[in-house]
Amino acid sequence: MNNKKSIILTFFFIAVIIIGISLVSCTNQSSKGMIIVARVPVDNFSFNEENICHNFPGACLMAINLAESAGSEINLTPDFYSACFPQISYDAKHLLFTGQKSKNDPWQVWEMDLKKKKSRKVTDFEESCCTPDYLPGERLVFSREMPDTGTGPSRALFTMNLDGSNLQQITFHPHINYVQTILRDGRILMLSKQIFPKKGEIKSLAIRPNGTKAEIFYKGIKGSIAGVRVRETGKGLIYFTEQDTGKLKKRDIVSIHQNRPLHTKVNYTKDIAGSFYSVLPASSKELLVSFCPSGDQTIGLYTFNIDDKSVKESLPGGSKYHFIDPVLVEPYERPRNLPIMELNLSYPTGLIMCQDINLTALTGNNGESIPKATKIEVLGMNKSLGIVPVEEDGSFFLKVIADLPFRIRTLDENNKVIVSSSDWIWIRPFERRGCVGCHEDHELAPENIVPLAVNGWPVLIPVDTINSLEKRKTFELGDMH
Amino acid sequence: MKKKGLIYLFIALAVILLLGVPAHRMSREHVNYITAVEDHPLNCFSCHLYIQKDNFLAKLVNTTYLSPFNLAVSPDGGKLYIVAQEGDVLVVIDSQSDQVLDKIPVGKHPHSVVLNHAGNTAFVSNQWEDNIYEIDLNSLNVIDTLKTGSGPAGMVLSKDEKFLYVVNSFGNEVSVIELDSKTEKKRLVAGNNPTGLAISHSGDLIYVSSRRVLPRPARAPVKTEMTVIDATKQRVKERKMFKHAYMMENVEFASTGDLAVATLIRLKNLVPSIQVEQGWMMTHGFGIIETGEDGRIIQLLTDEPNSYYSDPFDVVITPDGEKAFISSSGIDVINVIDLNKVRKLIAESTPEELKTYSNHLGISSRYVLKRIPTGANPKGLVLSPDGKYLYVAERLEDRIAVINTKTLETEKHIDLDGPSRITMARKGRRLFNNSGRTFQNQYGCYTCHPDAAEDGVAYNMAGVGMGRNVTNTQTLRDVGDIPPFKWNGHNQSVYKQDGMRFSTYLTRTEPYNYDELDALVSYIVTGIINPPNLAYNPTGELTEAQKRGEKVFFRTHTNCGKDIKPKDRCYVCHPPPDFTNKNFENVGSLSESDDSIPFDTPQLNNLSSSSPFLHDGRAKTLEEIWTTYDPGDRHGITSDMTKDDLNDLVKFLRSIRDARYYTKYYSEEYEELLKEYYSNNEYRNLK
């Protein structure tokens, strides 16, 4: 009898295990191959040249299995008025998106559990938030509308823990900023446009998640508009769409290489009629794209072959909707988790040095070289923060109030402007930053010399209008930062 | 009975709980202290198994790999001869069948192998034995041993094969060995830590590439020597200077005769180390040396703006002179350089433009044809005689990669029959030699610690501010027993040294995970030993001058008979075996740009090869420590010494060998002095 019992028990456990495995297998199979895409009502879809990023009222997020026949779409956000900008977590278990519960709500960041299909609110501000993306270490980054302080509407990037704690603003310049992606090296790539004192060109800047070391990553030809979402492959190719400067405002698929982004742009679709609105690498040869073949058609999902440039329809938009921003529900390699310890938020200042302000990629009229500058002027939002003589070798060394945006221009001994203002810079608390020159070639490494300026103490910015060397020496003695 | 069993069980559980809880807390505190974090797994093996050096456990856990370093190919291309640096053998491979034919035992830490034109004789330089083995390749036996200078490394045969030129890497010389008599005929002074050399195709010129910068004043721009030897006269013809560059591991002539190519690193030690972006710490590339009269030196990079190809080691040039292959050993890549495009770039550029290009991270797109991935730590390269194949010594894989030079693809790997299991220390060594854990792969541990020693350069580490606290790179050889670490002694363990702060301020990327940290620590603590000090103390028997110097080192009274306070006696701060008391001392060596802190006393083992000296590297020689930088007798009492006393002291300091030679007792004469000063516990701790 005991033997019989043992045998029955054994078979029972085996059966339980088999059923359990098959259930698990079923669950995994159901999410494989799925993509999530924003479905946007045709009437609510418009690209205004001034707006480089759009939230689409009435949009929803659809989960679609492209391998199955039509009818397999699932609306993931039926209880939202609008939902767009999906972004998958590294383990493919969660999804960040931008949404509105009702029409007049400010856009906020939400996170969905993809298994339970339940969403929770991540941000809860009066201002609108959008373009969220995951950061390593259970954090996220997103763009948030900033109060207008007289510079016009701007947007800054913020990081936060996924549980809503530890909110940190990480950009401080008068720009409109949107998160494009998190690069594999751990930096945030952001689409950025200056709004003050005058509107600037759209550029992509790379920045560390603690807001330090912002630098130019990519800029298109003048007047072009890069798409917000970019996707980096495991081999370092970064795909995105870009609107050209022609009358048709055609949008093409372009790529740059992470190793040398300023000079490796490839346009894959300039000879293809129609516009592309988003791109997702599906394999080494194929991209899943949002494409509109002509002005009277809607945007659907297509497969683009990089080799033969063919475009094949996967999911047409239909008459009422466009499909944009596809993401694949698959785990992917987490970017590097860059250390944040370099910052010390209790420090009110940061340091910046330049090797030689006369090292520049600019040339004068008719290609002649720029006259030598002997001073710099640090410009704040509305006033000069000080004029500082540089050292004989053209170097300077400043201690600036942290998180205060400023620009630098170079002057001659008569305070005449030699090189006009740089882009906006900010230094985070306890950050140390270095530059090679002024408007220098961004691919130039520094010469191996001791900049004369760092042999002494830094000059505090803001300072009085005129700053003498003697006055500088008495600054900051005992204040060793 | 059942009740008794339950009671026993209960008692056992209670005992476990009573002992276990405090034991767990103690373990947690102990691990937290050693690792400087609060969540390192409580895994005793990390520290207490994988860092055993030479006991039974160490033998169990570790193994000896081959570690192929340099190689040569027979004139018919049929055989490969590979120097196995760790295995102390010359591995002979049939390049067609990939069979290992033999492993010929050679001397300690072999460096290079050259074959004669007939392919029947090989010469292997034994870097840690100061000799060369001559091997008959028919019988595969060592038939002779040739004496050299200190640390023989690269070699070339003269065109007529009458002479063998050998670089003595520790002695900074080139030995000219006459092969008929097997004797050294001449010794030529060459650079600082030279390792590579090449002979022109005409046979009249030899270039010798050095790794370390030449001595220069503190904070002065660096330069490294490429020594040019007139091979017909066997004299130094010229000393070419590479500015702002160092670590020229190897050099090669193009068969076209117009240029030679040397690997190099363009360091940024004078620039405050405040970021990695934009090539701020290190850039890597090669030097072109035009061989004609008034030939220029042009430096170019292999790096890209967001990706660096660190630690270039070897260079070979195709027979047609059109392509160069460079092994970037820090990132496991072979850079393929189109030399015709380089020639064109040089011809079309002004001197100002060329100067700019030496720092330009985008210029490599003009001449780098391809970057071929390899296994771990690619080092020596050799081309097959027909130029069709490139053989790559993948040092930390124990194998050779075979690359087709036309398709630029790897065709196969040849396994050298090394150990199949990868030990923790081997994993750590791979991490040490790979720059993949630094932001954008810009540099690895090896970059500043070549051969796990130091690179002879002081860095503006910008610990506070930007121009302050310049620090001299310290050696990592045999450091496991001498915490704390860093000049300021802030790091109580190697774990902490390589932990979170390391990633924040040095590598500037994600820190090592705990498994990686365990492996790295295992390698640093167990896998790095000092080379023998053959130049100054080959047997432990000191010369007369060294013995006099030893007396000075251990003296307790000045020449006038005045008592020297213990804190001013050399042996008190620098007691054997490591010649450090592992304490903080202020010896008056702070400069204006230093924060006011005492320094962790450095060890003195194998001091002879680690100039410059003092915490900021301002003393170019040992003598300068006292003659120039200690006027007030704060670094020991030396003002009463004669020049001979100081010379003898320096000779003794140079004779100090690895700590393992001093572990039993130092010498009876001085043992008492040491015991007099240190309590029993302290003295035991020193050992």
Tell whether A452 lies on the interface with B, counting CB pairs under 8 A: no
Which are the contacts of A438, defined by CB distance < 8 A and separation ≥ 6?
A354, A357, A358, A359, A360, A373, A408, A410, A419, A422
DSSP A250-319: -EEEEEEETTSGGG--EES-TTSSSEEEEEEE-SSSEEEEEEESSTTS--EEEEEETTT--EEEEE--TT
Which of A188, A259, A460, A481 best probes binding to B when mutated, by most B CB atoms within 10 angstroms? Answer: A259
pTM listed for this prediction:
0.92
- Inspect the interface and report whether the beta carbons of A341 and B501 lie closer than 8 Å: yes
What is chain A's pLDDT, residue by residue, as a tens digit (481 residues)? 567 887 778 777 777 776 655 555 444 444 556 899 999 999 888 765 556 777 788 999 999 987 765 567 889 999 999 999 999 999 999 999 999 999 999 999 999 999 999 999 999 999 999 999 999 999 999 999 999 988 888 999 999 999 999 999 999 999 999 999 999 999 999 999 999 999 999 999 999 999 999 999 999 988 888 888 999 999 999 999 999 877 677 899 999 999 999 999 999 999 999 999 999 999 889 999 999 998 788 999 999 999 999 999 888 777 889 999 999 999 999 999 998 878 889 989 999 999 999 988 776 667 777 888 999 999 999 899 999 999 999 999 999 999 999 999 999 999 999 988 889 999 999 999 999 998 889 999 999 999 999 988 899 998 753 344 434 433 332 232 2
Cβ(B314)–Cβ(B380) below 8 Å? yes
Tell me the three state secondary structure of residue A163: coil
Q: Residue B582, Cβ neighbours under 10 Å: how many? A: 18
Q: Which residues pair with A40 in a beta bridge?
A: A322
Extents of the domains making up chain A: 32-328, 349-476
Smallest CA–CA separation between A420 and chain B, in Å? Answer: 23
Q: Which CATH class is domain A349-476?
A: mainly beta
Running DSSP on this structure, what letter comes out for residue B1?
A: -
Q: At what angle do helices B643-655 and B544-553 cross, to 10 degrees?
A: 100
Measure CB to CB from residue B362 to each of A263, A448, A480 and give the nearest one: A263
Q: Which of B210, B226, B215, B365 has the alpha carbon at shortest distance from B289?
A: B226
User: In a 10 Å sphere around its CB, with 0-12 CB exposed, 13-18 middle and 19+ buried, how is residue B639 labelled?
Assistant: exposed
CATH topology of domain A32-328: Neuraminidase (2.120.10)
**What type of residue sits at position B251?**
V
- Inspect the interface and report whether the beta carbons of A458 and B466 lie closer than 8 Å: yes
Calpha distance B408→A323 (Å, rounded): 42
Strand order in the sheet with B194-199: B194-199, B205-210, B223-230, B235-243
Query: In chain A, whose CA is at the least distance from the CA of B511?
Result: A339
User: In a 10 Å sphere around its CB, with 0-12 CB exposed, 13-18 middle and 19+ buried, how is residue B54 labelled?
Assistant: exposed
- Inspect the interface and report whether the beta carbons of B280 and A339 lie closer than 8 Å: no
- Inspect the interface and report whether the beta carbons of A446 and B501 lie closer than 8 Å: no
Tell me the three state secondary structure of residue B573: helix
Calpha distance A226→A229 (Å, rounded): 9
- Inspect the interface and report whether the beta carbons of A444 and B361 lie closer than 8 Å: yes
Query: In chain A, whose CA is at the least distance from the CA of B503?
Result: A339
- Inspect the interface and report whether the beta carbons of B221 and A448 lie closer than 8 Å: yes
Instruction: Count Cα neighbours of B116 within 13 Å in the Cβ-side half-sphere.
Output: 16
CA B204 from centroid of its chain's CA atoms: 31
Measure CB to CB from residue B275 to each of A338, A433, A455 and give the nearest one: A433
User: How confident is the model over B433-457, as a mean pLDDT?
Assistant: 96
Chain B residue numbers with beta carbons less than 8 Å from the beta carbon of A353 are 272, 274, 466
Chain A residue numbers with beta carbons less than 8 Å from the beta carbon of B508 are 338-339, 342
pLDDT surpasses 90 at B681:
no
pLDDT at A471: 42
pLDDT at A150: 85
Which of A443, A477, A481 best probes binding to B when mutated, by most B CB atoms within 10 angstroms? Answer: A443
DSSP A178-205: EEEEE-TTSPEEEEEEE-SSS---EEEE
Calpha distance A146→A173 (Å, rounded): 11
Smallest CA–CA separation between A477 and chain B, in Å? Answer: 13
- Inspect the interface and report whether the beta carbons of B304 and A260 lie closer than 8 Å: yes
pLDDT at B512: 92
- Inspect the interface and report whether the beta carbons of B593 and A455 lie closer than 8 Å: yes
pLDDT in tens, B374-416: 999 999 999 999 999 999 999 999 999 999 999 999 999 999 9
Measure CB to CB from residue A434 to each of B275, B301, B509 and give the nearest one: B275
- Inspect the interface and report whether the beta carbons of A432 and B272 lie closer than 8 Å: yes
A residues 54-93 closer than 8 Å to B (CB): none
Which of A270-284, B333-347, B617-631: highest mean pLDDT?
B333-347
pLDDT at A166: 95
Whether ipTM exceeds 0.85:
yes
Tell whether A433 lies on the interface with B, counting CB pairs under 8 A: yes
Tell whether A26 lies on the interface with B, counting CB pairs under 8 A: no
Chain B residue numbers with beta carbons less than 8 Å from the beta carbon of A481 are 464-465
Chain B residue numbers with beta carbons less than 8 Å from the beta carbon of A448 are 221-222, 244, 266-271
Confidence grade of residue B687 (pLDDT, cut at 50, 70, 90):
low
Chain B residue numbers with beta carbons less than 8 Å from the beta carbon of A436 are 278
Confidence grade of residue B263 (pLDDT, cut at 50, 70, 90):
very high
Smallest CA–CA separation between B307 and chain A, in Å? Answer: 5
Mean pLDDT of chain B: 92
Calpha distance B517→B502 (Å, rounded): 12
A residues 265-304 closer than 8 Å to B (CB): none
Cβ(B236)–Cβ(B189) below 8 Å? yes
pLDDT surpasses 90 at B205:
yes
Chain A residue numbers with beta carbons less than 8 Å from the beta carbon of B443 are none
pLDDT surpasses 90 at B675:
no
Chain A residue numbers with beta carbons less than 8 Å from the beta carbon of B305 are 259-262, 442-443
Sign of the Cα torsion A209, A214, A219, A222 reads positive
pLDDT at B679: 66
Tell whether A369 lies on the interface with B, counting CB pairs under 8 A: no
pLDDT at A472: 44
Tell whether A448 lies on the interface with B, counting CB pairs under 8 A: yes
pLDDT surpasses 60 at B45:
yes
Tell whether A454 lies on the interface with B, counting CB pairs under 8 A: yes
